[in-house]
């Protein structure tokens, strides 16, 4: 992959002025890719000021003019397809299938937001005052700060960046330190599409050096963050203290319920994808499978069979399904969670192993909610299988968590599946499917400690805009 050693501010590639020199690493081999000087608070100022100036001009364009720029993004993504696969596999450890998912989903988001400039709909409302007309205009918020994670770095940046721009805002993006290249590649893609200079800016740096300032800076009106609940809580506190809006998509402890009438083979196949795709490093991924006692043993055997021939290793190999964990810190976290649950008395139904930064799939059975792999977000290729006495017990166990992002229910009775799904305290539930679902036109978001706000479709339009009331007194009152 290319070495991105500059920051991207106001359409220019400039040297960072921060105190730190950061190094980007290959997630699979651990080798250093390149080093760059981090952004400083002064760079944050420059990026936000450029965005503020560019937004004022962007907001003056007609909807069709804005749409024409957005349409060119499709060709730009095609042009950089090979680079997208290269940067994702190299710095993020994404398998070929994961790269293909991010590439295709980014293009789906482009197609969805192309209509957004024409959807800035207002209202004309009656008045109780004689001779008055009330107009409510939908307006851009102005500048939006986006903080993206490392696990799905392109999609989870694009999901905020594109709707923000398509609704008339400008953006400053801060990528995760593990995956800066994906964000700077986005800058190249936007350049090729002809996005006006300053409308999209990328600054990379240590959170300890610029993180708080990025959030509290006076220019951005909204901070969109995807990442851990711990960091999201800190961002929410800082933003609230400065009366800023937030959109937070945070951690998950997602569940699959397997009911007595479920198709066990289909459920196991779904759990393979939902639990182990991208090495389990997906906020929507399945962490827990709760089976009613009648199907508990059969499900474990079916899941073991699904994982029997899974290939683990180099993410550039098209046959590899499980690639590397992002770094040593995350790998040790996963290993500690496994060891803690084993020490607490769970059974190892399928034993994995660690080779370099790759962890082979694990299945843990006889798990209870007080064990580490069940009560926290493991973010690795580990699924904990929990036995429930009956359906009501399964639902109670599913809800016994501070998180509520995504989930899944398997049953042959589809209407009953909907009724069960409504009882699961989580933002999204998928009947007879795994938990990793994201469609650009459908609401996305969690409850409890999994986040605040909703992404996608009309929900994100409302989130990234503000309503402006203007009244006209057609007949003088005074």
Q: Nearest 5°: CA angle at 51, between 48 and 55?
A: 145
Q: Cβ(414)–Cβ(404) under 8 Å? A: no
The yes-or-no answer on residue 376 being catalytic is no
Q: What are the Cα distances from residue 213, in Å, to 6, 161, 219, 228? A: 20, 20, 11, 19
Q: Given the residues 91, 102, 112, 249, select the one marked as catalytic.
A: 249
SS3 469: strand
Residue-by-residue DSSP string for 159-202: HHHHHHHHTT-EEEEE--TT-HHHHHHHHHHHHHHTPPTTSEEE
SS3 451: strand
Pair type for strands 222-226 and 143-147? parallel
Pair type for strands 21-25 and 32-37? antiparallel
Handedness of CA 436, 366, 398, 448 (dihedral sign): negative
How many Cβ atoms from other residues are within 10 Å of residue 408's Cβ? 31
* Best CA proximity match to 246, nearest among 228, 224, 275: 224
The yes-or-no answer on residue 99 being catalytic is no
* Best CA proximity match to 224, nearest among 282, 171, 283: 171
Which residues have C-beta within 8 Å of that of residue 144, sequence separation ≥ 6? 160, 164, 169, 170, 171, 172, 220, 221, 222, 223, 224, 464
Distance CA 184, CA 181 (A): 5
Distance CA 276, CA 271 (A): 8
Residue burial 307-317, b: 16+ Cβ < 10 Å; e: rest: beeeebbbbbe
Q: Given the residues 283, 337, 346, 358, select the one marked as catalytic.
A: 283
Pair type for strands 451-452 and 245-249? antiparallel
- Give catalytic residues, as residue numbers: 249, 283
């Amino acid at each position: 992959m290319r070495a991105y050693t500059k920051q991207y501010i106001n359409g220019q590639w400039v040297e960072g002025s921060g105190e730190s020199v950061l190094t980007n690493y290959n997630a699979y081999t651990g080798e250093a890719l390149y080093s760059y000087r981090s952004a400083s608070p002064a760079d944050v100022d420059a990026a936000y000021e450029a965005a503020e100036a560019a937004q004022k001009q962007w907001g003056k364009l007609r909807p069709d003019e804005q749409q024409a720029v957005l349409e060119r993004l499709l060709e730009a993504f095609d042009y950089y397809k090979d680079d997208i696969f290269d940067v994702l596999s190299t710095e993020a450890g994404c398998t070929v299938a994961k790269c293909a998912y991010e590439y295709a989903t980014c293009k789906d988001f482009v197609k969805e937001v192309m209509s957004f400039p024409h959807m800035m709909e207002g209202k004309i409302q009656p008045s109780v005052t004689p001779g008055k007309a009330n107009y409510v205009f939908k307006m851009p918020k102005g500048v939006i700060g986006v903080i993206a994670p490392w696990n799905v770095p392109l999609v989870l940046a694009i999901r905020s960046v594109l709707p923000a721009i398509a609704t008339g805002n400008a953006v400053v993006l801060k990528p995760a330190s593990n995956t800066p290249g994906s964000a700077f590649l986005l800058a190249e893609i936007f350049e090729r599409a002809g996005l006006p200079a300053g409308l999209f800016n990328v600054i990379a740096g240590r959170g300890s050096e610029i993180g708080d300032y990025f959030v509290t800076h006076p220019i951005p009106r909204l901070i969109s963050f995807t990442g851990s609940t711990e960091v999201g809580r800190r961002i929410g506190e800082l933003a609230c203290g400065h009366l800023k809006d937030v959109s937070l998509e945070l951690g998950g402890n997602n569940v699959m319920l397997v009911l007595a009438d479920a198709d066990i083979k289909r459920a196991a196949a779904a759990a393979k994808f939902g639990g182990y795709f991208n090495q389990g490093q997906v906020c929507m991924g399945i962490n827990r499978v709760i089976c009613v006692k009648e199907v508990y043993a059969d499900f474990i055997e079916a899941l073991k069979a699904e994982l029997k021939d899974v290939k683990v290793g180099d993410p550039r190999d098209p046959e590899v399904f499980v690639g590397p964990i992002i770094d040593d810190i995350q790998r040790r976290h996963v290993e500690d969670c496994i060891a803690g649950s084993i020490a607490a008395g769970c059974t190892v139904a399928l034993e994995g192993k660690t080779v370099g930064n790759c962890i082979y799939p694990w299945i843990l059975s006889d798990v209870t909610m007080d064990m580490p792999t069940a009560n926290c977000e493991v973010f690795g290729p580990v699924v904990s299988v929990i036995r429930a006495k009956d359906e009501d017990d399964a639902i109670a166990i599913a809800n016994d968590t501070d998180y509520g992002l995504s989930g899944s229910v398997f049953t042959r009775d589809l209407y009953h599946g909907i009724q069960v799904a409504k009882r699961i305290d989580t933002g999204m539930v998928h009947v007879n499917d795994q938990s990793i679902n994201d469609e650009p036109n459908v609401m996305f978001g969690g409850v409890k400690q999994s986040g605040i706000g909703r992404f996608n479709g009309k929900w994100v339009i409302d989130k990234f805009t503000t309503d402006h009331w203007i009244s006209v007194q057609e007949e003088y009152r005074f």
